[in-house]
Amino acid sequence: MKAILKNVLPVCAGTVLGSLSLAASAFDILPDRAPAPADNPTTPAKVSLGKQLYFDQRLSVNGTVSCNSCHSVMANGTDNRPVSVGVFDKRGGRSAPTVWNAAFLSVQFWDGRAASLEDQAKGPILAGVEMGMPSEAAVVERLKQIPGYVSQFQAVFGGEDALTYDNVARAIAAFERTLITPNAAVDRFLKGDKSALSASAQRGMKLVEKIGCTSCHTGPNYAGPAGLPVGQGFFQKFPVYPSKYDKQYDLKSDKGRYEVTHDDADKHLWRVPTWRNVALTAPYFHNGSVQTLDEAVRVMAKSQLDVSLSDAEVADIVAFLNGLSGEFPEITLPRLPETPNVTLLKK
């Protein structure tokens, strides 16, 4: 099936009968490293700075929310909520996607409105329902009152005026490019360890290919083809086929990419989400409306492929998807730079 990038991807309807040998191109191994853009090379000092910023609640207007609040790297890269809780208990309309392996996506956010990790890092800090800072200048002004950050930005980026909002985003993105979960059971299976996946998971692996799931969930991140240029989104209409799930899980009130472009052709288009660690990131879909993975599999099969799966088939696919949970590197909490004798946060 030929995918149409930046537009609706045709879907392959099919049955769940018969057997199918695995095609080597349908499944891929996750790399151990993520590529960095030429204008933001990854260095240990930049990663350390970005990690501090990622955990620092002072990047929010009232000092209560950090990047890690909604995308916890001490766990699965989400907050396991239907929608996240921002400053002053504000709520957005979409579920927080995982930050793990986001470095392998060609666009960011559910609607693909950010072309890179750097672009994405700039958004939540200024979003009223997330971290709520009033402007880029306000962020820079606050950070410049923290001596430890001033010296680190000068060391990492050079120059007296190194502490800029662009460099805040560059540092956070550099840290996020280290958030990779390799060596999942599926990866080990593809490398030749045939005992890495159970018989049920191997049946599920064949089944997702046969019924058409891998038309979209492909590549090493199972979120689209490998090697797409940054900013080249890989989108799919959701839902495609009308079903009882549209109303049950309110799948259509949010129009997806259309909310960004206001192009009718983009109604209900979404960036294809990763399958990596999907067993750990419930609840599911853009609005966090589905609580269990087995139900999410049923919804996707019916709404995208017009296929009704048996309980046994669902169990096999879920077993395969569990095999995509990778090895999480150990994350230690950073020591944040202090503001001796004063606080930057007002009542």
- If one compares 7 and 109, the residue with the highest pLDDT of the two is 109
| pLDDT tens, residue by residue, 77-107 | 999 999 999 999 999 999 999 999 999 999 9
Query: Do 195 and 172 fall into the same domain?
Result: no
Determine which one of 130, 176, 209, 313 is catalytic.
130
Query: Do 134 and 191 fall into the same domain?
Result: no
Query: Do 241 and 217 fall into the same domain?
Result: yes
Lowest-confidence range among 165-179, 200-214, 219-233, 320-334?
219-233
| Residue 186 three-state SS | helix
Query: Do 167 and 263 fall into the same domain?
Result: no
How many domains are there within the chain?
2
- Going by DSSP bridges, is the β-strand pair 269-271/235-237 parallel, antiparallel, or unpaired? antiparallel
Average pLDDT of the residues in 115-128: 98
Which of 161, 176, 191 is where one domain is finished?
A: 176
Question: What is the domain-level CATH number for residue 82?
Answer: 1.10.760.10
Query: Do 171 and 268 fall into the same domain?
Result: no
Residue matched to tokens 């990038």 = 5
Query: Do 127 and 196 fall into the same domain?
Result: no
Average pLDDT of the residues in 140-163: 96
* Amino acid 25: pLDDT: 57
* Amino acid 346: pLDDT: 87
Query: Do 213 and 297 fall into the same domain?
Result: yes
pLDDT band for position 46 (cuts 50, 70, 90): very high
DSSP state of 100: T
Distance CA 176, CA 34 (A): 10
Q: Whole-model pTM?
A: 0.92
Residue 8 domain-assigned? no
Query: Do 151 and 86 fall into the same domain?
Result: yes
Query: Do 240 and 193 fall into the same domain?
Result: yes
Query: Do 190 and 123 fall into the same domain?
Result: no
Residue 7 has pLDDT above 70, yes or no: no
pLDDT band for position 218 (cuts 50, 70, 90): very high
| pLDDT tens, residue by residue, 270-326 | 999 999 999 999 999 999 999 999 999 999 999 999 999 999 999 999 999 999 999
6 within 8 A of 235, measured Cβ to Cβ: yes
Q: At what angle do helices 44-55 and 165-176 cross, to 10 degrees?
A: 100
Whether 295 sits among the annotated catalytic residues: the reply is no
Query: Do 49 and 69 fall into the same domain?
Result: yes
Residue 66 domain-assigned? yes
Query: What residue numbers bound the domain in which 242 lies?
Result: 24-32+183-322
> What is the overall mean pLDDT for the chain?
92
Residue 221 domain-assigned? yes
Between vectors from CA 250 to CA 247 and to CA 253, what angle results, nearest 5°?
115
Query: Do 208 and 141 fall into the same domain?
Result: no
Residue 149 domain-assigned? yes
